[in-house]
Chains A and B, each alone.
Chain A
Amino acid sequence: MTWQDELRKIPAPEPSQDLLERILASRAAGRRVVLRVPARSVGSRRTVRYTAAAATLAGVAWLGWTVLTTRPGVESELPPVWAIGGMPFIPSTAFGQERVPPTRSPRYPLIAQIQETRVRAGRWTYEGSTIADGVFTTSQGGPRTIVLAAGNFEGRPAWIVTSPEMLDTVLVDQSTLRPLRYERHMRRADLVQQYSRDSIAETLYLAPPPKERERTLRGATVTPDSGIGPMLVSWSPHSLDVLVQALPLSRAWRGSVYSANWVTMATRFPMFTALDLRVTGSEHITVPAGTFDCWRVEVREGDDKSMLWVSKDRGWLVMKRRTSSDGSGKWRTEWLHETRLVAFDTLTTPPAP
């Protein structure tokens, strides 16, 4: 006989004979007692818990496997503008509780000396193509035109850089080549960045359907370079086109420049990225617009690397090539983006350096 049997054999008294009568009398008198009822047995809840835990473990394992084995594809290289299409519209207050991705330090000294007088107004037209695994894939939506016009902004001489195809405008200080204002109008969002000497104030208006989800995010930040030297706008690839016109390129020249990304979405993307530029040689390049004697400039932005060919005598961006063939083996598809100058129209040819 076990110990439990002994316990169960402990005698218990019988209930009173009149207990049932009292129960029925209470019911008849209208008395009611609210009982706490176990909705589900603990065993079934335990089963649910174990099932949920197993599902969670399986999910985490799958996620880990996916992260460890999936190589970044072409999609991950798309500019931030494309991210807005599928981004979760979380209030900026929630963003404020997340950690801001750190800004990578520049590899070279920040560009401090420029030849701003070399920059000329004009119109440049480029065409682009993408070649994936050796097969021509797309012409990237037709030619793209950059218009650079002289103007004024808040009493200062400014370059007005526009791209009719991209519906964006960058205003750049003519003496420092720092941006003054950036505006971009997208299908369901408007972005405005207002630059001062050492800070950026950003307003991002989001208008996804339905209307109730519309919201405006605002943010501000201090620039990492304390207002010294030029700066780029990541949203506008053309701000680099303007800068290269003023760079004193020469053999072995190198320098870094910050590029401003998001402020309001700083937890998704770093606020600034550093572009490291380095002259790696000179070449004669033939593009639809003609043959040019160019500096070959390597541009590194984090792990991303591209190559620019910049006209030696005019400072124009003649060709840009971006490829995944970096030997790292991380790319699923070997692809190559190439942008070539097809036409130009300038009022005055800048002087040779």
Chain B
Amino acid sequence: MSAAPVGEGFGASVDAVRAGSPDALAALYGEYGRALYRLAYRLTGTREDAEDVVHDVFVGLPEALGRYEERGRFASWLKRVTARVALMRLRARNRRREVALDSAAGETEQPAPSERDGLEAAVNTLPDHLRAVLVLKEIEGYAHAEIAELLGISEGASRVRLTRALKRLRNELESGR
């Protein structure tokens, strides 16, 4: 069974994916899987969480496509869906951290800053809520309005978080950590 091409044209293949065709889903993964994984990784900061995010996105995609209105770029829509899932995972992870004892902090999957170099290490020292805005704005190129909608915050809060993230990032880089 050959999969229909799934890309910007999407078009006829959407029905196959919606119908739950494994081949169509595999083709979709082949086209967008890596990009979505990178986005998830940048938002969550860990390989495991990023894989879980991409896994959940593709498992739920056939049903979610039933609500896809085919407006705008399909890749953008898919990224937004993935960002939502990643942010939900971040929130769930933060809730788990709140419940955990302080000693559990040592068990975090965040790699130690010393293990990474330069900018990447500095980005990974940012708290989740600041890193999410930084990634979405400066790497993914979302507008503040879109970030606000994704994170459930105001546009002003998004701008403030970005400013704070950049300030912390600069401090981290200047401190030479």
Q: Give Cα A77–Cα B102 distance, bound, in whole angstroms.
A: 78
CB < 8 Å neighbour of B20 from A23, A27, A31: A27
| Chain B 146-176 interface 0/1 with A at a Cβ cutoff of 8 Å (1 = within) | 1001000000000000000000000000000
- A211 within 8 Å of B by Cβ? no
Q: How many A-B residue pairs have CB under 8 A?
A: 107
Interface pair A40/B139, CB less than 8 Å apart: no
- A36 within 8 Å of B by Cβ? yes
A26 to chain B, nearest CB (A): 5
| Chain A 1-30 interface 0/1 with B at a Cβ cutoff of 8 Å (1 = within) | 001101110111111100110111011100
Q: Give Cα A68–Cα B14 distance, bound, in whole angstroms.
A: 57
Given A19-B51, A23-B29, A27-B20, also A46-B63 (CB < 8 A):
no
Interface pair A7/B60, CB less than 8 Å apart: no
Interface pair A34/B63, CB less than 8 Å apart: yes
| Chain B 12-35 interface 0/1 with A at a Cβ cutoff of 8 Å (1 = within) | 000000001010011001100110
- A35 within 8 Å of B by Cβ? yes
**Residues of B within 8 Å of A, CB-based: how many?**
48
Q: Is the interface of B mostly helix, strand, loop or mixed?
A: helix
Interface pair B22/A24, CB less than 8 Å apart: yes
What residues of chain A lie closer than 8 Å to B62, measured between beta carbons? 27
- A290 within 8 Å of B by Cβ? no
Interface pair B138/A7, CB less than 8 Å apart: yes
| Chain A 27-51 interface 0/1 with B at a Cβ cutoff of 8 Å (1 = within) | 1100111111111111110100000
What residues of chain A lie closer than 8 Å to B42, measured between beta carbons? 10, 12
- B6 within 8 Å of A by Cβ? no
Q: Give Cα A37–Cα B88 distance, bound, in whole angstroms.
A: 13
Q: Give Cα A41–Cα B75 distance, bound, in whole angstroms.
A: 13
Most buried by A among B20, B120, B123: B120
- B130 within 8 Å of A by Cβ? no
Given A37-B81, A42-B143, also A19-B63 (CB < 8 A):
no
CB < 8 Å neighbour of B41 from A12, A42, A44, A46: A12
What residues of chain B lie closer than 8 Å to A26, measured between beta carbons? 55, 59
Given A7-B123, A35-B81, also A14-B60 (CB < 8 A):
no
CB < 8 Å neighbour of B81 from A28, A38, A44: A38
Interface pair A35/B138, CB less than 8 Å apart: no
What residues of chain A lie closer than 8 Å to B149, measured between beta carbons? 38, 42
Interface pair A39/B67, CB less than 8 Å apart: yes
Q: Give Cα A117–Cα B141 distance, bound, in whole angstroms.
A: 91
Given A3-B138, A7-B138, A10-B119, also A35-B54 (CB < 8 A):
no
**For the complex of A and B, 9 pairs with smallest distance between CB atoms:** A33-B60, A12-B38, A35-B64, A35-B60, A15-B37, A23-B58, A37-B67, A10-B120, A33-B56
Seen from chain B, the residues whose Cβ lies within 8 Å of a Cβ on chain A are 20, 22, 25-26, 29-30, 33-34, 37-38, 41-42, 47, 50-51, 54-64, 67-69, 71-72, 76-77, 80-81, 84-85, 88, 119-120, 123, 134, 138-139, 143, 145-146, 149
